[in-house]
């Protein structure tokens, strides 16, 4: 009888004695049934970790990301008293012009601390239309169109500075998009409190002179750029939304030098 057969016979005898209550339970020791071998290599440890802890880790990371986003949006996000959208075929923040800072400062001079946080903060949202931009950044033209369309479909944008082409684009699609003030719904920037911003001096600095091409472009902008306010009287608004709309209209009526501002605000901001 070989060793294998002898072991098999001994196991049968031990099992029979166990059933009769005469033998020792050879299976009482867990190590005899299943011996746990801890992972040793990095690959084995990584596999062990992923099997037991991957879902818990993913849940914890997701919770931290969501909490961080909520805190940043609630407590650290920039809050603006006014938002002004600028859309024109000529990009007003191009290197030849750089009107963003000077126009923002001019708007701040005529605005106020509407949200009561102790400072006047303006968002000048210049949509990057323009031949120069389209040539220098592949695909930018399409993204500009998307940004412009998104602004028009969202009721959060109220004030618009537009050239002739963008104004006509809106009016052809939505004739009643802007507030009508005494028969007009657009006002030339040069005839408002924002005048003198569009100039060679503001674009290039007092010490620099504009080239003939830039002078021609500046003159064209002076004749075309207008400001308009969106008509949201038919839109449902929260109390906060009503206040923001009234604040934007108040600024708009102030810079266009319109008489009887209070009565017009009351009529339009309801």
pLDDT one-digit tens code per residue, 240-270: 889 999 999 999 999 998 654 444 545 554 5
> What is the Cα–Cα distance from 235 to 71, expressed in whole angstroms?
30
Nearest to 269 by CA among 80, 114, 86: 114
Q: For residue range 158-195, what is the model confidence (pLDDT) as tens digits?
A: 999 999 999 999 999 999 999 999 899 999 999 999 98
The rounded mean pLDDT for the chain is 78
pLDDT value of residue 63: 84
pLDDT value of residue 236: 81
Could you tell me the residue ranges of all domains in the chain? 1-34, 37-77, 79-268
């Amino acid at each position: 009888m070989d060793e294998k057969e002898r072991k098999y016979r001994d196991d049968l005898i031990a099992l029979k004695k166990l059933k009769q209550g005469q033998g020792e339970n050879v299976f009482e020791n867990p190590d005899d049934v299943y011996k746990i071998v801890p992972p040793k290599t990095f690959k084995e440890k990584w596999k062990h970790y992923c099997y037991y802890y991957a879902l818990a880790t993913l849940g914890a990371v997701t919770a931290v990301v969501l909490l961080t986003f909520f805190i940043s949006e609630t407590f650290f996000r920039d809050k603006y008293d006014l938002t002004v959208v600028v859309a024109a075929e000529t990009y007003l923040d191009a290197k030849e012009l750089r009107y963003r800072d000077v126009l923002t400062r001019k708007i701040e001079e005529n605005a106020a601390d509407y949200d009561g946080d102790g400072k006047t903060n303006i968002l000048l949202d210049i949509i990057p239309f323009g031949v120069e931009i389209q040539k220098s950044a592949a695909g930018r033209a399409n993204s500009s169109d998307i940004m412009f369309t998104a602004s028009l479909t969202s009721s959060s944008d109220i004030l618009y500075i537009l050239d002739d082409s963008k104004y006509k684009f809106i009016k052809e699609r939505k004739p009643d998009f802007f507030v009508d003030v005494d028969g007009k719904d657009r006002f030339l920037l040069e005839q408002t409190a924002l005048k003198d911003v569009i100039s060679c001096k503001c674009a290039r600095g007092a010490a620099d002179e504009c080239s003939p091409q830039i002078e021609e472009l500046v003159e064209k902008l002076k004749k075309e750029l207008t400001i308009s306010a969106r008509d949201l009287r038919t839109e449902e608004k929260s109390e906060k939304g009503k206040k923001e709309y009234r604040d934007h209209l108040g600024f708009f009526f102030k810079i266009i030098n319109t008489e009887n501002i209070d009565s017009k605000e009351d009529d339009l901001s309801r």
